[in-house]
Amino acid sequence: MGDVDHELETVRRAQTGDREAFATLVDRYWNPVRNWLAALSGQVHTAEDLAQETFLKAWAALPKLAAGETFRVWLFRIARNEYLALVRSPRSLKRDPLAESPDPAAGPPEQAEVREAATALRAAVEKLPETYRSAYLLWTHEELPYPELARVLDVSEETARWRVCEARRKLAVAMRRFLGDERR
C-alpha cells in the first residue's frame, strides 16, 4: 500500500471515529502544522495552542471531509483559519524570533556570517505582509505545490503563485547584501 493510499485509508478510518487512526494523522502532521503556525505567529506557545485547536476542530469536522479533498490541504486550511481568528481577535501577537541553527562544521567567522544572514532572513520574513508570508512559508517549509497552496489559502492558483513570487522578490531585495548584489 502506497503512502497516499495508506493516508486515505487512515483518514477513512478516522472519519468513522477510529481514534488510533486520527492519532496517526496527528503524529504525522503535528510538527508541520505547529512549525508553520510558529513561523506565521512568531510564537512557539501560541503556535502550539493554535495547532491543538486545529486538531480539535479537525477531529470534530472530520466526518464532513469531502471524499476528493486532500487531508493535508484541509488541515492547513483549518490551521490558517485558526491563525486568522487569532489575528482578528483582541488578543495581540507579540512575535518571538525564530530559532536559528548554524552549521557546526563551519568555522567561527562562517558561523557568524550564517547567523547574521539567518537573522536578517527571519526579520525579512516576519516583515512580509501575512498574505505573502503564509504563502511563502507553505511553499518553502511544507513544499506544497501551487494547486494545494491555493486551496489552503482559498485563492486561485495564479494568486498563490503571485504571492510566493512577490514574497521572494521582497526577500531578495531585503537580502541583497547577503546575496552579493549591493547595487539595487
Cα separation, 77 vs 22, whole angstroms: 17
Residue 117 belongs to what domain range? 108-174
- Exposure class string for 98-131: b at 16+ Cβ within 10 A, else e: beeebeeeeeeeeeeebeebbeebbebbeebeee
CATH of the domain at 121: 1.10.10.10
Domain end marker among 88, 117, 140: 88
Cα separation, 7 vs 1, whole angstroms: 10
Q: What is the pLDDT of residue 144?
A: 85
Domain end marker among 58, 88, 118: 88
Predicted TM-score (pTM) of the model is: 0.67
- Report the candidate in 64, 77, 69 with the shortest Cα–Cα distance to residue 33: 77
Percentage of the residues of the chain whose pLDDT score is greater than 70: 85
Which contacts of 91-94 are long-range, i.e. CB under 8 A and separated by 24 or more positions?
93/41, 93/42, 93/43, 93/46, 94/42, 94/43
CATH of the domain at 47: 1.10.1740.10
Give the tens place of pLDDT for each residue, 98-138: 444 555 566 667 667 777 877 888 888 889 998 899 999 98
**What residue spans of 19-70 are helical by DSSP H?**
19-41, 44-61
Q: Does residue 13 carry a pLDDT above 90?
A: yes
Compute the C-alpha angle 87/92/96, nearest 5°. 95
Q: How many domains does the chain have?
A: 2
- Report the candidate in 116, 102, 98, 93 with the shortest Cα–Cα distance to residue 41: 93
Cα separation, 175 vs 39, whole angstroms: 18
Whether 75 and 112 map to the same domain: the answer is no
Give the tens place of pLDDT for each residue, 67-106: 778 899 999 999 999 999 888 876 555 544 444 455 556 6
> Would you say 43 and 93 are in contact if contact means Cβ atoms under 8 Å apart?
yes
> Would you say 142 and 32 are in contact if contact means Cβ atoms under 8 Å apart?
yes
Percentage of the residues of the chain whose pLDDT score is greater than 90: 43
